[in-house]
Amino acid sequence: MAGRPRDPGLEKRLVDAAWELLRGGGYDALTLTKVAAQAGAHRTDVYRRWSSKAQLVVDVLAEHLPPVVDPDAGTLRADLRAIVDDFAESWSSSWIDGLMGLTADLHRDPDAELAFRRMAEGRGEPLRHAIVRAQGRGEIGELPDLSLVADLIEGPLMHRRMLGRQPLTPEYLDVIAGLVYGVLTGTTVVT
């Protein structure tokens, strides 16, 4: 006997509902039961697809985070500034306050942590491309540790937004891009 036909739009409705809840109330307020209710689905529909809130939220972020573009503006400094802008857009989102809860849950959910790392690595690809292009143009010598460069960009953004509770102003983003440019090129940058 065949079961009920699958609703092809159900997963999208669940992800979209989770995004709205995440944006509206943050990670701590989001529950799988609320996601089901918001999507007009059953709680079991959610649990069939995601065994934890962390796994759902990682999929939601992968779907809904603003993209990090691969700018290729012709110079490393211009590429870095564009990438910093894209990272800052994510760090300025209203849901970011709940990221601490997600990171705590990731330590208890290895599958979600692996998915989160893969998503983060994918979002870092434009930075890697910009640095490889810069090396090809002769702007930098040896390729640096790319994860360290990403930390040099996102670390200050995260700290300023989550711990300092300060906005990510264009002037601040200029400083971050300039400092990272200076580290990569070995130059002193006045911003």
Domain borders along the chain are 10-52, 65-185
Which residue type occupies 127? L
Neighbours of 178 (CB within 10 A): 19
Cα separation of 33 and 53, whole Å? 10
Closest C-alpha to 17, from 59, 75, 78? 59
Position with higher pLDDT, 97 vs 183: 183
Cα separation of 36 and 184, whole Å? 47
The reply to whether 65-185 shares the fold of 10-52 is no
Least confident of 1-10, 52-61, 176-185: 1-10
| Helix (H), strand (E) counts: the chain | 10, 0
Least confident of 37-41, 91-95, 114-118: 91-95
pLDDT digits (tens, 9 = 90+) for 112-150: 999 999 988 999 999 999 999 999 999 998 888 888 999
Which residue type occupies 184? L
Q: Phi/psi at 134 (nearest 5 deg)?
A: -65, -40
Query: 10-52, which class in CATH?
Result: mainly alpha
Cα separation of 36 and 10, whole Å? 10
Mean pLDDT of all residues belonging to the chain: 90
Report pLDDT for 1: 45
Statement: residue 184 has pLDDT above 60: yes
pLDDT digits (tens, 9 = 90+) for 143-154: 888 889 999 999
**Domain 65-185 sits in CATH 3.40.30.10:** no
Report the percentage of the chain scoring pLDDT > 70: 95
Cα separation of 1 and 182, whole Å? 67
Buried b (16+ CB within 10 A) or exposed e, 38-57: bbebeeebbeeebebbbbbb
Q: Which residues touch 159 (CB under 8 Å, ≥6 apart)?
A: none
